[in-house]
A and B are shown apart, each in its own frame.
Chain A
Amino acid sequence: EDQVTQSPEALRLQEGESSSLNCSYTVSGLRGLFWYRQDPGKGPEFLFTLYSAGEEKEKERLKATLTKKESFLHITAPKPEDSATYLCAVRRPGTPLVFGKGTRLSVIA
């Protein structure tokens, strides 16, 4: 059974304090690992897709990396507006996305 585990469940950072969020997965034949950001009361907003181990993608203060067992979302010098829940999801051929429960990030000014 495909599984996605995100850690930590919640993370509180001071503004400018860099850190990483983890997404561990067990899935055979991975066809993509997706990162989304979700603000309270809104639907998930797409951030990145990673397809193969070693791949990296960046967007502003966010950088996503992928290995054969996990993905990291690195946040460099975060700002309060980066506060949100970050969701990780995986898929393999013929299946829907399988989501983790997310990491709630709070960035304090």
Chain B
Amino acid sequence: GAGVSQSPSNKVTEKGKDVELRCDPISGHTALYWYRQSLGQGLEFLIYFQGNSAPDKSGLPSDRFSAERTGGSVSTLTIQRTQQEDSAVYLCASSLRRGPTDTQYFGPGTRLTVL
């Protein structure tokens, strides 16, 4: 079956603009994660959704970042009033469930450049 897909693959925006990044998880996967990968840094956890439970937002760096997941499937990460330090690759991952044995499968990422 299809893997995790993300769109757009690249996004260039001006400082102060809002952006929306989309993630389509693997069909049937109940858990969905967003990570950020900056140049020279490891993957940084942002937010996690599991089924109908309240999302774990503990990794969001500021209140300019938000995410939602509609119908337990597609997720959108929104960054308001973008700053240059938001430039990074934003990765989405999904897993069948959240438990000790869950494996996260990643999408190709969205490269965000804030000018």
Contacts and interface: CB of A to CB of B under 8 A. Distances in A.
A75 interface: no
B28 to A, nearest CB: 17
A43 B106 contact: yes
A42 interface: yes
A53 interface: no
Contact of B104 (A31, A97, A102): A97
B107 interface: yes
B48 A96 contact: yes
A43 B42 contact: no
A64 interface: no
B77 interface: no
A96 B100 contact: no
A93 B101 CA distance: 11
Interface of A: 4, 31-32, 34, 36, 41-46, 49, 51, 87, 89, 93, 96-102
